Copies of this chain bind each other. A is one copy, B any other.
Amino acid sequence: MTLIRTDELRARAAGPIASFDPASTPGYRGDKASAADDLAAVGDELSSLQEMLFANGRSGDDRSVLLVLQGMDTAGKGGIVRHVGGLLDPQGVSVTGFGKPTDEELAHDFLWRIRNALPKPGRIGVFDRSHYEDVLAVRVHSLAPESVWRPRFEQINNFEAELADSGVTIVKCLLTVSKAEQRSRLAERLDRPDKYWKYNPGDIDARAFWDDYLVAYQDVLDLTDTDVAPWHLIPADRKWFARLSVARLLLEALRSLDLSWPPADFDVAAERARLAALE
């Protein structure tokens, strides 16, 4: 496999988001063609480790993995779900998209719907948007006053620390797309009838607040990048690079669990004898 150094994807190493290059491929020396091979290889190992994680989950191991995807509209979150999530056995994956909160969700604390969607033991959860919307969209579009959203940074850190303590390995990815690339992707959604369904007039409203989003994202990176839940900044102008990067980060998370097959919780010899005794 072509080398990919995921430590170069750590937000901490990347500098300010406003000067980050979404067309770059940090830590990767391959190209689009090699990335397809590399993604397949990552997929094979991911799939094996996921089965082992699932097996352990069935045997009383509480651990799980949570992939959090954030990013501007058109940054390719859905494509990550499809092409990275698609490498996994659907039995062991739960995907949750967090859109505009429902009335029921708004009646609860902002983490309520997040807690309800956490992966079960042995599973990989994928969040397409997340609790971070409550310090991003909510802040940028003034859906709540600063006295409400400002304390959330600390609440989020406490929440994620609690998750980590309970056995959730958290992988946070912020997909970055350039303003020019976003224009091109939005234009495509308006040009192709098979893409209309992905278009939302709200996307343009958000684009008008581009710089405000950068400020809000920078605070997210500065205030919620922790050892147990680090942020990765994923350049996403090149979809093949973003997909390979997120797959590789997920693979590293699974490798870090140092999994092995769970031992039999039954008497193997006795069961063999029972099977032999039956017709």
Interface of A toward B, CB cutoff 8 Å = 55-56, 58-59, 78, 81-82, 85-86, 88-91, 93, 95, 97, 126, 128, 179, 183, 186-187, 190, 193-194, 196-201, 204, 207-208, 210, 261-264, 266, 268, 271-272, 274-275, 278-279
Contacts and interface: CB of A to CB of B under 8 A. Distances in A.
Contact of A90 (B90, B183, B199, B210): B90
Contact of A86 (B59, B86, B128): B86
6 contacts: A78-B91, A82-B89, A90-B126, A187-B275, A194-B261, A204-B271
Instruction: State the copy count for this chain.
Output: 2
Contact of A81 (B56, B78, B91, B179): B91
Nearest to A59: B197
A97 B86 contact: no
A104 B96 CA distance: 24
Given A199-B271, A204-B278, 19 more contacts: A56-B197, A81-B89, A85-B91, A86-B88, A86-B89, A86-B90, A90-B95, A91-B97, A186-B275, A187-B272, A190-B268, A190-B271, A193-B264, A194-B261, A197-B262, A200-B266, A201-B266, A204-B275, A208-B278
Contact of A197 (B90, B200, B261): B261
A257 to B, nearest CB: 16
A138 to B, nearest CB: 22
Contacts of A82: 89-91
A58 B97 CA distance: 12
Nearest to A274: B204
A136 B207 CA distance: 56
Contacts of A90: 81-82, 85-86, 88, 90, 93, 95, 126
Contacts of A97: 91
A29 B248 CA distance: 40
A264 B81 contact: no
A227 to B, nearest CB: 29
B190 A55 contact: no
